[in-house]
Amino acid sequence: MWTQFIFRHWKLLGKRKQPLFLKSESSNTNMRTKDIGEYFFHTALGGLHLQIKAGCVRRIDFLQYTAGRDLDLVEVLQGISFNGQVCLQPSGTAFQFSVWSEMQRIQPGETLTYGTLAKKMGKPLASRAVGRAVGANPIAMLLPCHRVLPARGGVGDFRWGRWRKRQLLAWESSGKDALTTICAGMPLSLQFYLDLTTCVG
């Protein structure tokens, strides 16, 4: 059973990435991950879980407990990047993808209400459905659901804890990059794009 995963090796073949090579602490042999690589990190917001499949980010979750060791999140993300871009490939429906795509346009330091996000999508009466799609986002920070707020005020719900949402918003409102900040200030000059391959209709 794998316990801790350490980034070992990555290659680019033209524009297509080969699978990552990872090494388990309990084994001296390299293992090719045909499907999924799991990483756990310490961050300023607690434990963080990163799931990568076929060179794309599938999930980023904050954990209620501190997991893993001080692995280098920046190095892992740079290792799966191509020309400075990282693929985000969550699983979701066509409607969820349309919400997440619009949500990704919200810039750091900016916020929108669920109703305003629905209007931007051309679905002004669908704010509740939009809210459910925002809440189902599986990739914390990189798909910035923390920038969507309720019209009644406050920060609203956040599947990883309201205190984390408040902290992310506080960092961004002060001009800090949230991802750089949780990585202890290490610079990260990457762009993240949403891949529709895993849209299930």
**What DSSP state is assigned to residue 96?**
H
d(CA 104, CA 191): 11
Contact 49, 67 (CB under 8 A): yes
Separation of CA 189 from chain center: 15
Per-residue pLDDT band at 143 (split at 50, 70, 90): very high
Boundaries of every domain in the chain: 5-88, 94-186
d(CA 136, CA 139): 9
Mean pLDDT of the chain, nearest integer: 80
Active-site residue set: 145
Separation of CA 108 from chain center: 15
62-119: per-residue pLDDT in tens? Answer: 987 765 555 678 888 888 999 999 999 999 999 999 999 999 999 999 999 999 999 9
Placement of tokens 């310490």 in the chain: 42
pLDDT score of 76: 87
pLDDT score of 189: 78
d(CA 75, CA 61): 18
d(CA 98, CA 133): 9
Q: Which two tokens stand for residue 164?
A: 């984390």
What's the whole-model pTM score? 0.79
Q: What number does CATH give the domain 94-186?
A: 1.10.10.10
**pLDDT score of 178 more than 50:** yes
Q: Which two tokens stand for residue 41?
A: 């990190």
pLDDT score of 190: 85
